[in-house]
């Protein structure tokens, strides 16, 4: 399946489009720095959609993405207001963008969460590996409580990806388990299906009905990162009401449609595809 063929595929499923829970829209100078980092990997990581923000928005619309997040994340204190003004401002100007903000363990984080919720924030991005922090950091206690009370979906990157960036010690299912023990009603969307600890995160989801997953970069045709464990596909089908599509656009090493083709290749049925591509995202984000 090519990007050009994607709208016809959605028509066949009877869908008005796609809800993409894992799209990044960083401020331009931050985005350029991220791309330079990926360029420096060995082997280099090709960036398929190295475009201006305006062209990225147009590309997503042409692909049939009707609603998408604008994920950003901090790697040090002092970035929250800058990042959140950017992502929430993008949403204010573009109806397709789900109002998204981020958090980081610093003194002002609770007041920043209150501000962002007050101006319509409907999704949060947390990146434990890039941020290099424990989700149980005391500075985050009030922020988590606010997000739990508001039932705000939180796209959390908690899988320890061995990509050379380090910080794996902050990742994995155990930090998330401790977080949920303290704030059991949090609505967590485990990015990348929790890879590489997929089975452990699925066990966590069995214990907490507020735990969801996004599919970003896990299923593609052909597989890019790894072959998904065949023994878990039954669980993926059973959990079809708590899985949302995610692409990791724009910094992906293949065409967008490769991830749709990979999901279709699983053979879990058209109804499962409709839920993952559209229905679940509409429900999760209250669209």
Asked if residues 217 and 259 have their Cβ atoms less than 8 Å apart, the reply is yes
Q: Where are the domains of the chain?
A: 3-285
Mean of all residue pLDDT scores within the chain: 94
Give me the phi and psi of 248, to 5 degrees please: 70, 15
**pLDDT for 284 beyond 90:** yes
Give SS3 for 192. Answer: helix
CATH T-level topology, domain 3-285: TIM Barrel (3.20.20)
Question: Residues 54-61: contacts with CB within 8 Å, 24+ apart?
Answer: 56/25, 56/249, 56/250, 57/94, 57/96, 57/97, 59/250, 60/20, 60/23, 60/96, 60/249, 61/96
* Confidence (pLDDT) at 162: 66
Q: Dump pLDDT digits (tens) for 45-104.
A: 899 999 999 999 999 999 999 999 999 999 899 999 999 999 999 999 999 999 999 999
* Confidence (pLDDT) at 166: 67
Q: Dump pLDDT digits (tens) for 102-136.
A: 999 999 999 999 999 999 999 999 999 887 799 99
**pLDDT for 258 beyond 80:** yes
Q: Hey, what are 138's tokens? A: 């005391």
Q: Which of 70, 65, 64, 185 is nearest to 122 (CA)?
A: 70
What's the predicted TM-score (pTM) here?
A: 0.96
Q: Where do we find the tokens 């049939």?
A: 64
Instruction: Say which residues have a Cβ less than 8 Å from residue 78's Cβ, sequence separation at least 6.
Output: 106
Instruction: Say which residues have a Cβ less than 8 Å from residue 138's Cβ, sequence separation at least 6.
Output: none
Asked if residues 277 and 14 have their Cβ atoms less than 8 Å apart, the reply is no
**pLDDT for 225 beyond 90:** no
| Burial letters 115-154, b for 16+ CB under 10 A, else e | bbbeeebbbbbbbbbbbbbebeeebbeebbebbbeeebbb
Q: Hey, what are 172's tokens? A: 């994995």
* Confidence (pLDDT) at 43: 83
* Confidence (pLDDT) at 131: 74
For residues 215-237, give the mean pLDDT: 86
| Radius of gyration for the chain, computed over Cα atoms and rounded to the nearest angstrom | 18
Q: Dump pLDDT digits (tens) for 130-186.
A: 877 999 999 999 999 999 999 999 999 998 776 656 666 777 899 999 999 999 999
């Amino acid at each position: 399946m090519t990007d050009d063929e994607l709208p016809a595929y959605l028509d066949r499923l009877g869908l008005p489009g796609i809800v993409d829970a894992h799209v990044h829209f960083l401020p331009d100078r931050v985005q350029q720095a991220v791309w330079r980092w990926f360029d420096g990997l060995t082997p280099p990581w090709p960036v398929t959609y190295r475009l201006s923000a305006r062209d990225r928005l147009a590309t997503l619309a042409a692909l049939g993405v009707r609603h998408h997040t604008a994920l950003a994340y901090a790697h040090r204190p002092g970035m929250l207001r800058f990042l959140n003004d950017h992502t929430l401002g993008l949403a204010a100007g573009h109806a397709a963008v789900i109002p998204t903000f981020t958090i980081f363990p610093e003194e002002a984080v609770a007041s920043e969460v209150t501000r962002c919720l007050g101006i319509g924030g409907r999704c949060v991005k947390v990146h434990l590996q890039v941020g290099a922090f424990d989700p149980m950091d005391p500075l985050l206690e009030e922020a988590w409580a606010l997000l739990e009370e508001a039932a705000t979906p939180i796209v959390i990157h908690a899988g320890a990806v061995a990509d050379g960036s380090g910080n794996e010690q902050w990742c994995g299912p155990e930090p998330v388990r401790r977080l949920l023990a303290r704030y059991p009603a949090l609505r967590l969307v485990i990015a990348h299906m929790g890879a590489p600890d997929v089975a452990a995160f699925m066990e966590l989801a069995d214990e907490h009905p507020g735990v969801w997953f996004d599919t970003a970069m896990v299923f593609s045709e052909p597989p890019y990162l790894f072959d998904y464990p065949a023994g878990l596909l039954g669980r993926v089908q059973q959990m079809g009401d708590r899985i949302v599509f995610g692409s990791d656009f724009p910094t992906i090493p293949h065409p967008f449609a490769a991830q749709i083709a990979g999901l279709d290749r699983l053979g879990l049925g058209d109804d499962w595809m409709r839920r993952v591509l559209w229905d679940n995202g509409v429900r999760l984000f209250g669209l």
